[in-house]
Amino acid sequence: MDNCIFCKIINGEIPSQKVYEDELVLSFKDINPEAPAHVLIIPKKHISSLNELEKEDEHIISHVFMVAKEIVKELGIEKSGYRIVTNCGEDGGQTVPHVHFHLLGGRSLQWPPG
């Protein structure tokens, strides 16, 4: 997608600190971390938000969680705990219109979020 920051990160136009990559997903460090461990996991396919998710994308989203399971081991937060969040739309606080999952850990996280 033209003008999508995350599509530009996927195609290398914008640099990122990669954590994991395969044919379906990319993971990289969030530029503005909210926790000691804060990475984003995104599908390589441009999907604007969860509202635009199609049945055919189901395998991509389940793959995101399988990948997250491995990344938390790399980050050393498997035992201490972590949170995976996806923001959708204005009230959800979504600022980048390309589906992404925040993986946060490395400190005690508050609940409910503000």
Residues 6+ apart with CB under 8 A from 27: 18, 19, 20, 21, 39, 40, 41, 42, 67, 71, 103
Q: How, if at all, do strands 37-43 and 25-29 pair?
A: antiparallel
Residue 38, beta-bridge partner list: 104
Residue 30 in contact with ligand 5GP, rule: CB under 6 A: yes
The distance of closest approach from Cβ of residue 93 to ligand 5GP in the complex, given in angstroms and rounded to an integer, is: 5
Residues 6+ apart with CB under 8 A from 19: 27, 28, 29, 39, 71, 74
The interface mask with Zn ion, positions 17-56, x = CB under 5 A, is -----------------------------x----------
100 is catalytic: yes
Residue 94 in contact with ligand 5GP, rule: CB under 6 A: yes
- Out of 3, 95, 108, 110, the only residue in the binding site for ligand 5GP (CB under 6 A) is 95
DSSP SS3 for 69: helix
Q: Which stretch binds ligand 5GP (CB under 6 A): 18-26, 52-60, 64-72, 90-98?
A: 90-98
Footprint of Zn ion on this chain (CB under 5 A)? Answer: 1, 4, 6-7, 46, 98
